[in-house]
Structure 1
Amino acid sequence: MRSSTRRGWLVGGALAVAVGVGSLAGSSVGASGSSSDLVTLTVGVTQDVDSPNVTVGYTVAVYELWNLQYATLTDKAAADFETIPGLAESWVASNDGLTYTYTLRDGLKWSDGTPLTAEDVAFTVNTSRDQEWFNHSSVTANLTATAVDATTVEITSSVPDPKLPTMDVYILPKHIWEEHANGDITAYDATDGVGSGPFTLKEWTPGQGWTMVANPNYWQGKPAIDQVVFQVFTDGAAMVTALENGELDAANDIPAEQFASLQGRDDIVAVAGAQGGFTELAMNGMAGGIGDGHPALLDINVRHAIAMAIDRQQLFDRVALGIGLPLHVLGVSPDQAWLPEIAEEDRLDYDPAAANQMLDDAGYLDTDGDGVREMPDGSQPLVFRYAERSEGTQGAALRELITGWLKEIGIDTEVTVYDDAQLGEIVYAGTYDLFVWGWTPFVDPDPLLSYFTCDQVTYDAAEAGYNDANWCSDEYDALYQQQNQELDKAKRIELVHEMIRLFYRESTYVVLYHDADTQAYRTDRFEGWLQQPAGTGPVIFTNSSPTYFNLKPIEGGSESGDDGSSVGLIVGIIVGVVAIAGIAVWVLSRRGSSRDERE
């Protein structure tokens, strides 16, 4: 899960302008709701939904929306991610382990009252396979689903599949999505609000937030909460203030500077949840042959020198404030068993003297004495374009330190600040040199590992893939295929370790640290908050987001002081108008472009 911009973004962006204009004045639901009869949970966030369309979106924010709106065939236990029944109440395997027959629960319905049947499952699996939906294909690429009857679906894999019987892709309503799948499915705005999860989308105002309402047809019963309102903040400190003032019930992505101040309070619980997410400095590997990345980045010596110039422990201490884990390898799962050790002789630890020597030896010299090295043939100075994210809470601090360290090894930078949608566009067009972003993995490592295969490299900006390292390797791809079909877990872990070590050596990504999901919630309104996994994970924005259905209002609990307009509407109007203006300018200046995806 991430944050960027994908195929179909131009259509989605233009639609977002229309949705935003129509909704700004009307969306003012706060922690007590627009009516005293509504039980409303209000959550502060720093990242907006990019697109509700499951074939287009990529951000952590939209995965939370999907987790609430679309149930899956199998679910994940809150305590330990164990595969448990979801829409399917049971399943059996064939003798060869290639076919699983799932039995759906009786009486399943979509939120609009339409029966949910095995046909919906077969449609989702087969169409996502054939059309290679980005958020489904790592699971469904080798699968064929057949609806035996209304409550029985048979799923067969063409190869051994270590992920089965887990089937955790979002099942879509065939009666809504089939017509769009027959055309350009990525152009569909997906604001229909028809789902099978505990809550469904009511409205989305880009730049301001989104509201989800309880699904009366949810298979576990109607939630105790009537609606969940997600409010977007551009200032993390303001979000924390709103939480402290009782204008929010919970908040996600709390700045590290404010997180400590929330610990130890009676009315607020602060949670630093771990689920394998990481922040990385990415370099343009130029594997797709498009864009205009700096040629020096094709040299592994330059990439290694950059890695060795960065004091990652200092970043962890000064920017993350020690919240998270000081790990420097690709995070592919919340389970650290999938993470390898890097041998001492292969580590690219902080060593600016060695980095300078490496560049000297490779012929990158400062021949004119301006403090900036040139290419070995003297043709071009080592001045790299650095793309800084405006969303999130750490971008500016990371940029200040990283660019300073690069300067110490003779590399200059030109910094431009982008929101996530803009950054996605330049990444997939290849018109960048460096950027800092992050990923949050799923429980199984396969999806995140798949992002860096050659199949996911972008060769045409209008048909972009997930591989924003813009790097690929035949060796990596071969290892990916092996782990994808290895049923022996110990052998599969070793294959994954080998892949991560290879990725580390190639260094188009420099993993800076593994993030903690810094969150907090109030204790005076709702009870039933669940960490996933138990004891170490976050309570919201998790792999399957079980907290929301589990929450119950505390009898006699405090109520918010207003209807939320002081936070949601005022902040939302300012942010929304700026976002609309920015999108409008972008649409006018980039009429031929497209795309959406990331954390």
Structure 2
Amino acid sequence: MSRPWVAAAAMGIAAIAVAAYAAAGQGSSAKSGGTFRIGTSSGIDSLNPYVAFNQDAYSSFEYIYPVLVQYDQNLHFAPFFARSWKVTNGGKTWTFRTVANAKWTDGKPLTAADAAWTINTDIKYKGTGAANNAGLIAHITRADAPNPTTLVVHYEQAAGNVLGQFQQFWILPKHIWAAHTGHKGADLKTFANNAPIVGSGPFKLVKFQKNDIALFQRNDSFWGHKPQVSEFGLRQFSNDDAMISALPASASPTSAASTRPTSSSTRTLRRRSIASSST
């Protein structure tokens, strides 16, 4: 069941995560492939991380953008794009060793320089376009990438929540986003970032229709452990009752969404998108 991206479950995306981990836990005998369907009454409000607010958007970013660290199945911090790290200078300097030879989905190299650029951009524009991320870069003065696999982050004072912040900090491709920092960073919020998004996570977003559907396919060039689910779709419904009514008769009885719309199941559906079936 070991997967570097298990943090997704901890962040509230249990539906797809549980299916993927269950398959992984069966080892080599697990069947790979298939489509995992998820229903939601919330939906993705924006594909731009500097604008998005809904939990479904945050959950989607977990699958398509790299972060330095993730939670493991015991909710301990585990390596992800950062394979190791050390703390020096009285806790004010953190050095991360990152994955070598990683790629974005458009084939461009993903390096520590992308992480440094994202951090520095968010620091520079924390009062304008990057305001949504201001809390995640608190007390950071700058980030450096002396080589493709080394990220050095400098703090104005020792911080105790560094890994917790970076677990939620999406690294963006510099070669895509650097062109959208105009007007003192305000353009970061106006970039549509339409699908297919250039990312570097276990999945890639290949189709998106707002208020309708988002389709994710497994990223076969992903540098980490690959999920066994081939693709999953997030379908938005107008309300919880409509979502439950759309369930096929063959829906898994273990799915929360396969129960009658009691107050308990409705609360569950509102809290998170639930799997309807897999094929």
Per-residue CA deviations over 1:90-135 (Å, capped at 9, x if unaligned) read 0011041110100001221111211111110011100011111233
Paired residues in the alignment total: 238
**Helix, strand or coil for the counterpart of 1:96?**
helix
**Helix, strand or coil for the counterpart of 1:243?**
coil
Alignment map for 1:150-229 (pairs within 5 Å) = 150-166=148-164, 167-168=166-167, 169-183=169-183, 184-191=187-194, 192-229=196-233
Question: In the alignment, is the contact (CA less than 8 A) between 2:41 and 2:273 conserved in 1?
Answer: no
- Corresponding residue number in structure 1 for 2:136: 139
1:75 to 70, 79, 82: 70
**Helix, strand or coil for the counterpart of 1:41?**
strand
The alignment-based identity, stated in percent, is: 26
**Helix, strand or coil for the counterpart of 1:237?**
helix
Question: In the alignment, is the contact (CA less than 8 A) between 1:252 and 1:519 conserved in 2?
Answer: no
- Corresponding residue number in structure 2 for 1:120: 114
User: Which whole-Å CA distance do the structure 2 matches of 1:114 and 1:235 have between them?
Assistant: 40
Shift of 1:64: 1.1
Shift of 1:195: 0.7
Per-residue CA deviations over 1:46-73 (Å, capped at 9, x if unaligned) read 0121111011111101011101111201
CA 134–79 in structure 1, closer or farther in 2 if over 3 Å, else same: farther
Shift of 1:181: 2.0
- Corresponding residue number in structure 1 for 2:11: none
Q: Is 2:54 the counterpart of 1:56?
A: no
**Helix, strand or coil for the counterpart of 2:143?**
strand
**Helix, strand or coil for the counterpart of 1:54?**
coil
Question: In the alignment, is the contact (CA less than 8 A) between 1:250 and 1:519 conserved in 2?
Answer: no
CA 209–238 in structure 1, closer or farther in 2 if over 3 Å, else same: same
Q: Is 2:61 the counterpart of 1:66?
A: yes
User: Which whole-Å CA distance do the structure 1 matches of 2:245 and 2:111 have between them?
Assistant: 46
Amino acid at match of 2:193: A
Q: What RMSD over aligned residues (CA atoms) do the two structures have, in Å?
A: 3.0
Amino acid at match of 1:188: F
User: Which whole-Å CA distance do the structure 1 matches of 2:260 and 2:92 have between them?
Assistant: 46
User: Which whole-Å CA distance do the structure 2 matches of 1:180 and 1:43 have between them?
Assistant: 32
Provide TM-score, normalisation by structure 2: 0.75
- Corresponding residue number in structure 1 for 2:94: 100
Q: Which has the higher strand share?
A: 2
Question: In the alignment, is the contact (CA less than 8 A) between 1:111 and 1:195 conserved in 2?
Answer: yes
User: Which whole-Å CA distance do the structure 2 matches of 1:66 and 1:130 have between them?
Assistant: 22
2:39 to 39, 44, 54: 44
**Helix, strand or coil for the counterpart of 1:66?**
helix
- Corresponding residue number in structure 1 for 2:22: none
Question: In the alignment, is the contact (CA less than 8 A) between 1:243 and 1:251 conserved in 2?
Answer: no
Per-residue CA deviations over 1:338-382 (Å, capped at 9, x if unaligned) read xxxxxxxxxxxxxxxxxxxxxxxxxxxxxxxxxxxxxxxxxxxxx
Shift of 1:520: 4.9
Provide TM-score, normalisation by structure 1: 0.37
Question: In the alignment, is the contact (CA less than 8 A) between 1:43 and 1:248 conserved in 2?
Answer: no
CA 253–131 in structure 1, closer or farther in 2 if over 3 Å, else same: farther
2:262 to 229, 233, 258: 258
Gaps of 5+ in 2: 1-31
Larger Rg: 1
CA 229–104 in structure 1, closer or farther in 2 if over 3 Å, else same: same
Amino acid at match of 2:108: T
Shift of 1:185: 1.4
